[in-house]
Amino acid sequence: MALQVCKDIDSIRQWVAKWRSNGEAVGFVPTMGNLHAGHLHLVEQAQKRTDRVVVSIFVNPLQFGPGEDFNAYPRTVDEDRKKLEGFGVDLLFLPTNAGVFSNSASTTVAVGDLSGRHCGRSRPGHFSGVATIVCKLLNIVQPNQLFLGEKDFQQLLIVRKMISELNFPVQVKGIPTVRENDGLALSSRNSYLNALERQSAPLLYQSLCRAKEQIKNGRRDWAGIEKEQVEILEKAGFNVDFFSICSVDDLLPAANDHASWVILAAVILGQTRLIDNIQIMRS
């Protein structure tokens, strides 16, 4: 069928109810638009696992703090729509801000201590904004499966925790990060990088790989590994927000008895915030 575009809640619910009444599984990919190959990979994975795929585009004001790039965030709805048509997506949900948040809305969702670590320390309120919009979108779309990228690993864990604790009847599928050939994780914000910054940007992933290799080789001086990579990145011109080796389950500081770890990093390069991570399974 041709791509359906819905802007109001009643319309999208009618489509999804029809599909589910026919026994069709619905996959959902929430985005803020400016779609790139990483988003489209999520769409492909949803198409492989479900019968119908819904993509939403909504630049959520709740997850932007004061002085962040809400107004500058790239909005490319016409181009995004063409890409989704080319991929055979079933439905594009384009809610308005007024349609999602009433003037008197005062309800938000917060996911405990996990939201205050790492990115949450430097972006207070960010993950509450993410959890609130995902909660609302899940209530509106009512999919069987939710597809999220692993690039923002903390966000993925927060959404998983929210869905589990609020008993949403939806499965969460975390999809591995899609990268450029030089290792840079795909992101809509990469378009902010100038030519010189773009050349330097892959150094973030290289630092993650170096730290992973040291841990795989048996090094357990967690703070020392973190300090070394921060120094390397700062010498290369990055302003490092954090470079943290954590438990993959709760993002608390790494310990020797953890079954697996994740290294989370956030940096500022020029005017652009970049995040990335790499997971390490104990051998």
Catalytic residues: 39
Q: Which amino acid is at 246?
A: C
Both tokens of residue 226?
């973190």
Both tokens of residue 230?
């921060």
Query: What is the C-alpha to C-alpha distance for residues 208 and 147, in angstroms, rounded to an integer?
Result: 24
Please say whether the beta carbons of 261 and 246 come within 8 A: yes
Tokens 């809305």 — which residue?
Answer: 105
Which strands sit side by side in the sheet containing 260-269, from one edge to the other? 239-247, 260-269, 272-281
Q: In sequence order, which residues have a C-beta less than 8 Å from that of residue 232 and are 6 or more positions away?
A: 203, 207, 210
Both tokens of residue 102?
């009433």
Tokens 């080796």 — which residue?
Answer: 245
Query: What is the C-alpha to C-alpha distance for residues 227 and 267, in angstroms, rounded to an integer?
Result: 14
Q: Give kind and range of the element (H or E) at residue 145.
A: strand 145-149
